[in-house]
């Protein structure tokens, strides 16, 4: 009983000092993300989460942070079901695979197209899930292999997944 009291007291003190590894978040302010489109142009990353919400940064991390700063609410990337990387994906695949904000089980795709609407693309990809996840890409990169990532294309007013 005495040990439990000491642990609870220590947790209360650390919580009051803001040193606990977790923080409280108002669920009403959460902005869940379903589909993330990552585009790399030169040395600049653009992150698009739909409904015209985009942010640009010198790295993927900076773009994600800027997106969080610009929105009034807490952007919640662990809800993303898909991450789509616009080609050419020079370094973007590695950046997405290394990013801890994304859920390892999220599907990953490449695309040669620029999609204006992440929401419509996300609805299609829900019905056509990727057989490749971010975790699969991490494993392939760790083994020195080039990951085989499915390609989503615009086709006949809709979309098509190859691979």
SS3 for 89-137 is CCCHHHHHHHCCCCCCCCEEEEECCCCCCHHHHHHHHHHCCCCCEHHHH
CB-CB contact of 105 with 135 (8 Å): yes
Question: Has residue 9 been placed in a domain?
Answer: no
Q: Which residues are CB-contacts of 46 (< 8 A; sequence separation ≥ 6)?
A: 38, 39, 40, 54, 55, 56, 63
Q: Which of 26-30, 71-75, 76-80, 100-104 has the lowest mean pLDDT?
A: 26-30
Domain residues for 86? 27-162
CA of 40: how far to CAs of 26, 30, 128, 163, in Å?
32, 27, 25, 22
Question: Has residue 69 been placed in a domain?
Answer: yes
Q: What pLDDT digit, counting tens, does each position of 84-130 carry?
A: 998 887 788 999 999 998 999 999 999 887 766 777 888 888 888 88
Q: What pTM, to 2 d.p., does this model score?
A: 0.78
Question: Has residue 7 been placed in a domain?
Answer: no
Tokens representing residue 113 in the block: 């197209």
Question: Has residue 37 been placed in a domain?
Answer: yes
SS3 of 163, please? Answer: coil
Question: Has residue 11 been placed in a domain?
Answer: no
Task: Please provide the distance, in angstroms rounded to a whole number, between the alpha carbons at the two ends of the chain.
Answer: 59
Question: Has residue 146 been placed in a domain?
Answer: yes
Whether the pLDDT of residue 25 is over 80: the answer is no
Region 137-159: mean pLDDT is 89
Q: Which of 30-39, 55-64, 144-153 has the lowest mean pLDDT?
A: 30-39
Question: Has residue 85 been placed in a domain?
Answer: yes
What pLDDT score was predicted for residue 6?
65
What pLDDT score was predicted for residue 71?
77
SS3 of 142, please? Answer: helix
Question: Has residue 49 been placed in a domain?
Answer: yes
Q: Which of 10-14, 29-33, 84-88, 109-113 has the lowest mean pLDDT?
A: 10-14
Whether the pLDDT of residue 77 is over 70: the answer is yes
Mean pLDDT of the chain: 82
Overall number of domains in the chain: 1
Region 43-57: mean pLDDT is 87
């Amino acid at each position: 009983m005495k040990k439990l009291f000491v642990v609870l007291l220590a947790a209360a003190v650390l919580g009051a000092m803001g040193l606990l590894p977790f923080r409280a978040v108002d669920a009403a302010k959460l902005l869940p993300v379903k589909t993330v489109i990552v585009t790399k142009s030169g040395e600049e990353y653009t992150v698009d989460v739909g409904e015209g919400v985009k942010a640009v940064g010198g790295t993927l991390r900076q773009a994600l942070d800027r997106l969080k700063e610009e929105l009034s609410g807490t952007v919640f990337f662990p809800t993303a079901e898909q991450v789509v990387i616009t080609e050419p994906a020079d370094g973007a695949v590695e950046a997405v695979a290394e990013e801890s904000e994304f859920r390892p089980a999220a599907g990953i795709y490449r695309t040669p197209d620029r999609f204006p609407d992440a929401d419509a693309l996300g609805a299609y990809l829900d019905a056509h899930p990727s057989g490749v996840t971010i975790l699969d890409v991490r494993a392939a990169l760790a083994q020195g292999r080039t990951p085989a990532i499915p390609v989503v294309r615009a086709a006949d007013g809709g979309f098509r997944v190859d691979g």
